[in-house]
Structure 1
Amino acid sequence: MSSKKSRARAAASSSSESDSEPVDKTPPPKKAKADKKPSASNRATASSNQDNDSNMFQLSKMRFVNVREFRGKVMVDIREYYEADGDIRPGKKGISLNMEQWNALKHRIDEIDEAIKQF
């Protein structure tokens, strides 16, 4: 009795023997990795002529508010950041408020402060 593997090998070797072209069994070379992505501050600077570092305000160790332009609209972005490869990058946790939402929040600050005092 022959196993399925040995039959498969025999079939593969017999088919390769009948080919007139040599078979190259070495894998193609791997592509070199591209340079690392620029850090969050470098990406922001590259995408805008303004110095976005002056538009970034730290709330806690890894939480920032960033005022920026996105698709032609000014946004207030409150986001957690993380460190990777020595760069600080924006994480998924966060919210971007357009100017209408930002102004609504500002107008409700006193009400929010009162609700906080109840706790």
Structure 2
Amino acid sequence: MPKNKKQASSSSSDSDEGPVDRNAPPEKKAKMGAKTDDKEPTWVLQGKKLVKIREFKGKMYIDIREFYEKNGELLPGKKGVSLTPEVWRKLLSLGDEINETLSTMC
């Protein structure tokens, strides 16, 4: 095969990011854990992994999710979990126990 001919690369990824917009506006860099200016209260965990308080079908949820950018807008991806406020509070109450168990395993 000639060296100047490019091979089509096939890449399988379990990421649910949308198509890459090569002309997208540059992203604003947010510090990890920083709250963003958004109509929904939003905190950045890492990169495009966000925590948002969102309303869906009239109910409030804590949404921990990977987002993707499309046409300059961040949209929720498939990877994530939405917790009711009650389940969120339960998770927080387990934090010390989870951290203690984690420290014995790592």
TM-score w.r.t. length of structure 2 = 0.58
**Equivalent residue number for residue 76 of structure 1:** 62
> Pick from 51, 70, 73: which aligns with 2:39?
51
Q: Segments of 4+ in structure 1 off by > 4 A? A: none
Q: Where in structure 2 are there 5+ consecutive unaligned residues?
A: 1-37
Q: CA RMSD in A?
A: 1.6
- Tell me how far apart the structure 2 counterparts of residues 74 and 85 of structure 1 sit (CA, whole Å): 27
Quote the offset at 1:66 in angstroms.
0.4
Amino acid at match of 2:58: G
The structure where helix makes up a greater share of residues is 1
TM-score w.r.t. length of structure 1 = 0.53
Matches within 5 A, 1:13-28: none
- Tell me how far apart the structure 2 counterparts of residues 73 and 85 of structure 1 sit (CA, whole Å): 28
Matches within 5 A, 1:83-94: 83-94=69-80
Task: Tell me the alpha carbon deviations over residues 46-90 of structure 1, each in whole angstroms, 9 at most, x when there is no partner.
Answer: xxxx932xx011101110000022222211000001122332211
SS at match of 1:51: coil
Q: Where in structure 1 are there 5+ consecutive unaligned residues?
A: 1-49
> Pick from 50, 53, 57: which aligns with 1:67?
53
Aligned-residue sequence identity (percent) comes to 41
The structure where strand makes up a greater share of residues is 2
> Pick from 72, 76, 82: which aligns with 1:96?
82
